[in-house]
Structure 1
Amino acid sequence: MRHTLPLAPQFYVTAPQPCPYLDGRMERKLFTALQGENAEKLNDSLSQQGFRRSQNVLYRPSCADCSACLSARIDVSAFQPSKSQKRTIKRNENLERRATSPWATEDQYALFRDYLDSRHADGGMADMDVFEFAAMIEETPIRSRVIEYLDKTSGDLIGVSLTDVLSDGLSMVYSFYAPDMQRHSLGTYMILDHVQIAIEANLPYVYLGYWVPGSQKMGYKSKFSGLEVYLGGRWQKMRDPENFSPDTHPLSTDPIAEQVANISLPDTRPTHKP
């Protein structure tokens, strides 16, 4: 009988392109494919090392002279809502949460287009058509959910989050919401509700993606208590956000080969029962 070793994930680097968070910077990503029977183990392991999922790809920033982007998550056990966040919860009492399988709908796409046209008209997703949107929602090899928020009175779809269920938490892959309801702070509310979902499911973390010091787009993430950032190869409690700098430095990023060598991969060998 011939035995073959499982193939280890292969890592690649994207070509530099303009950074969407900090003006005048160029971004570069380290990425690998997410596929096969061990996709969930790989997603769990790399998410715990600062990677994020986009469809069938896991990626992490690997910019040549900038290390401003920090993966962020909320430690649910250390979270306490602020007075402002409590008011946000109160303002959204008329919303109903509905969790569904990752399946795209026309209502979701219409809301997505309104959100992009209002908030990110010049962003990388601005030209995404309905088929690309469906791929973003549906092309997932792991356990994912679409969390919808609807107005209890009108039944209107108000917000949507594509959320992965990890072994140690919830990962908010992408969220969008009604842009004409600014007073309701829907982006903040959906994060607060995911903290509640994690509590109910006995999951310790809510992964929020990247926090970028110096970027107004990402500033809201530092307002959540219990926040941790992935820095220096480990998760650390967020102290004073002002202590983090977006300044560039030619030695701020390790060489690609060193980065890959320091990635811990899950054990995917089959277990043999006696």
Structure 2
Amino acid sequence: MTSLARLKFYATQPHACSYLPDEQATTLFLDPSQPMDVGIYAELSEIGFRRSGDHLYRPHCQRCSACIPARIPARDFQPSRQQKRILKRNGDLDISEVRPRFTEEYYGLYSRYIETRHADGDMYPPTRDQFNTFLVRDLPFCRFYEFRLESRLLAVAVTDVLSNGLSAVYTFYAPEEERRSLGRFAILWQIAEARRLGLDAVYLGYWIKSCRKMNYKTEYRPIELLVNQRWVNLT
């Protein structure tokens, strides 16, 4: 284990919260000069940190604690009836692992996804620079998992492979394929992949009880939340 006490962290100035319109957010970042070490990353994930581009961060708000880190214990997960239907519905997809890179095919899918599903968010409008900075990072633990129907790209799950689990960084997918529930399927696949690799969990980022867009995270049971620096099962 690395001593996290020796690491430096910096906090941003308060800024508008992306999820709760009436709140101001502050973000805590690991010192950007610290090399992106997979061991440190794994340890920080245990206390609620996430990765965005080249940065490891977590919320550090003064007046609000609504953002709660969430993870799925892979070995204990049991799919619901609906989730079994999603798995069956997508059984015709081919899934392959590739290194992160920029292609027009990836960016075209990403831009369609953002424009259709997140036109009200802070990632709109999409740009190539944004896509590269956010997702296309040359890091040894980062993977792009492609989901294809024959040669057609339907989804990409950007995932970090850590010693303690898979961190689901971001998934973008064909918005017209609503029947497939590709976002949910990508999580189900990552749970199965974590189990296959002998890893403990899939880290889903933050859950906010009052945020409708995050409700899907609690569909996966059991799910653990980081509360008072302890991972506890959501009942």
Which category describes the TM-score, using the shorter chain as reference length?
over 0.9
What residue number does 1:9 align with?
7
Aligned to 1:184: 180
- Separation in structure 1 between the aligned mates of residue 111 and residue 36 of structure 2, nearest angstrom: 34
Alpha-carbon separation, structure 2, partners of 1:134 and 1:164: 16
| RMSD, aligned CA | 1.6
Count residues with an aligned counterpart: 231
State, as a whole percentage, how many aligned pairs show the same letter. Answer: 39
Match of 1:229 in 2: 225
Q: 1:175 to 1:38 in 2, by over 3 A?
A: closer
Tell me the SS of whatever aligns to 2:132.
helix
Moved more, 125-134 or 163-172: 125-134
The equivalent position to 2:197 in structure 1, one of 195, 198, 201, is 201
The residue aligned with 1:86 is 84
- Between 130-139 and 107-116, the greater mean CA deviation after superposition: 130-139
Residues 34 and 42, structure 1, Cα contact 8 Å, conserved in 2: no
1:34–1:43 Cα contact (<8 Å) kept:
no
Task: Report what 1:114 is aligned to.
Answer: 112
Quick one: which amino acid aligns to residue 210 of structure 2? Answer: G
> In structure 1, what is the equivalent of residue 155 of structure 2?
159
Aligned twin of 1:147: 145
Q: Is the 8 A contact 1:27 1:61 kept in 2?
A: yes
The 1-side partners of 2:219 and 2:33 are apart by 35
1:114 and 1:178 map into 2 onto residues whose CA distance is 7
Residue 238, structure 1, aligned to residue 234, structure 2: yes
**Cα distance, 1:17–1:206 mapped onto 2, change above 3 Å:** same
For residue 9 of structure 1, report the CA deviation from its aligned partner.
2.6
Q: Distance in 2 between matches of 1:191 and 1:164?
A: 13
Q: 2:10, 2:31 within 8 Å by CA — same for their partners in 1?
A: no
Contact 1:169 1:198 in 2 (8 A): yes
Q: TM-score, normalised by structure 2?
A: 0.93
1:213 matched to 2:209? The reply is: yes
Deviation for aligned residue 1:43: 0.6
Secondary structure at the aligned position of 1:179 is classed as coil
CA apart distance, 1:82: 0.1
1:125-170 deviations in whole A, cap 9, x for unaligned?
A: 1134213312323324441100110113xx1111111100111110
- Of residues 111, 125, 139, the one that matches 2:123 is 125
Structure with the greater alpha carbon radius of gyration: 1
CA contact (8 A) 1:33 1:56 kept: no
Check conservation: 1:21, 1:217, Cα contact below 8 A: no
In structure 1, stretches of 5+ residues that fail to align are: 1-6, 240-274
Q: Distance in 2 between matches of 1:157 and 1:184?
A: 13
Q: Distance in 1 between matches of 2:85 and 2:38?
A: 37
Residue 112 of structure 1 deviates from its aligned partner by 0.5
Cα separation, 1, equivalents of 2:221 and 2:109 = 29
Q: Is the 8 A contact 1:96 1:149 kept in 2?
A: yes
- Work out whether residues 39 and 142 of structure 1, in 8 Å CA contact, stay in contact via their aligned partners in 2: no
Change (3 A) 1:179 1:165: same
1:96 pairs with 2:94: yes
Q: 2:64 aligned with 1:54, yes or no?
A: no
Closer/same/farther in 2, CA of residues 213 and 149 from structure 1, 3 Å limit: same
Is the contact made by 1:170 and 1:206 (CA closer than 8 Å) also made in structure 2? yes
TM-score by length of 1: 0.80
Q: Any idea what SS the aligned residue of 2:13 has?
A: coil
Out of 138-147 and 160-169, give the one that drifted further.
138-147
Q: Quick one: which of 134, 137, 160 aligns to 2:135?
A: 137
Aligned: 1:21 with 2:41: no
